Each structure stands twice: as C-alpha cells, then as structure tokens.
C-alpha cells in the first residue's frame, strides 16, 4: 500500500491556526482546540493512506480539478491528490456551515 505525503498550503496552515485560536481563545476551550488539532492529524493520516476514498466536491470547477473533501467534526478539509509525487495537497479547511462555494472560490489550489 502506498502512503501519500500530506502537505498543506500556506493558506490551509493559516486557516488551521485561525480555527485553533478561535476555539481556544474566543470560545475559551483550549482542550477542545487541542482535540480538534488531534482530529485533523487523524484525518491527514486517513487521507495519506487512501485519499481516493474521499468524495470529490460536487461544485464546479473544483470537481473537474479533482478537489476532494473530508469532514472533521464541524469542519471540511479540502485537498487534491498528486499521484505523480505520491502526495496529497491540503488546500483549505473551513467551518462546514459556511458558504462552501464562496470559500472554494477564494481557495488557492497550490
């Protein structure tokens, strides 16, 4: 079984930091923030082992670009698979109840 290297764009890394800050400071739940980061790590482990099991997004043009998503608690993690380099590129992480099409339109794919 091939294991894919999971990489995150600068934009996705910043979104993860913002989510952790929001949960820890704004919601005053540092333990929940730490648990969320652990859950994200588990999701990255899951997609490293079998990224093609996750669904392609339905929205175009991202569907045609091969953008996939995985739900992690109340958040969606967006990524695409680079088969040639055995890598998964995480391109965005956002609250699941946000306007996803608007979020996707602002997301860098690389």
Answer with the residue of higher pLDDT: 1 or 36: 36
Whole-number Å distance between alpha carbons of 12 and 92: 5
The answer to whether 9 touches 91, Cβ cutoff 8 Å, is yes
**Domains annotated on the chain, with CATH:** 5-105 (3.30.2310.20)
Per-residue model confidence as pLDDT tens digits over 96-105: 999 999 999 9
SS3 1: coil
With a CB cutoff of 8 Å and minimum separation 6, the contacts of 78 are: 12, 57, 62, 67, 68, 69, 90, 91, 92, 93, 94, 104, 107
Instruction: Convert the pLDDT of each residue in 49-95 to its tens digit.
Output: 999 999 999 999 999 999 999 999 999 999 999 999 999 999 999 99
Task: State the Cα angle at 39 between 109 and 16, rounded to 5°.
Answer: 40
Stated pTM of the model: 0.94
């Amino acid at each position: 079984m091939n294991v894919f290297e999971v990489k995150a764009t600068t934009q996705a890394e910043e979104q993860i930091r913002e989510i952790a800050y929001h949960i820890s400071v704004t919601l005053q739940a540092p333990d929940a923030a730490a648990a969320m980061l652990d859950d994200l790590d588990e999701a990255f482990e899951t997609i490293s082992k079998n990224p093609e099991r996750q669904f392609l997004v339905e929205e175009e043009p991202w569907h045609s670009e091969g953008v996939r998503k995985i739900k992690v608690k109340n958040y969606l993690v967006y990524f695409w698979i680079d088969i040639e380099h055995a890598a998964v590129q995480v391109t965005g992480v956002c609250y699941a109840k946000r306007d996803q099409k608007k979020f996707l339109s602002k997301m860098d794919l690389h």
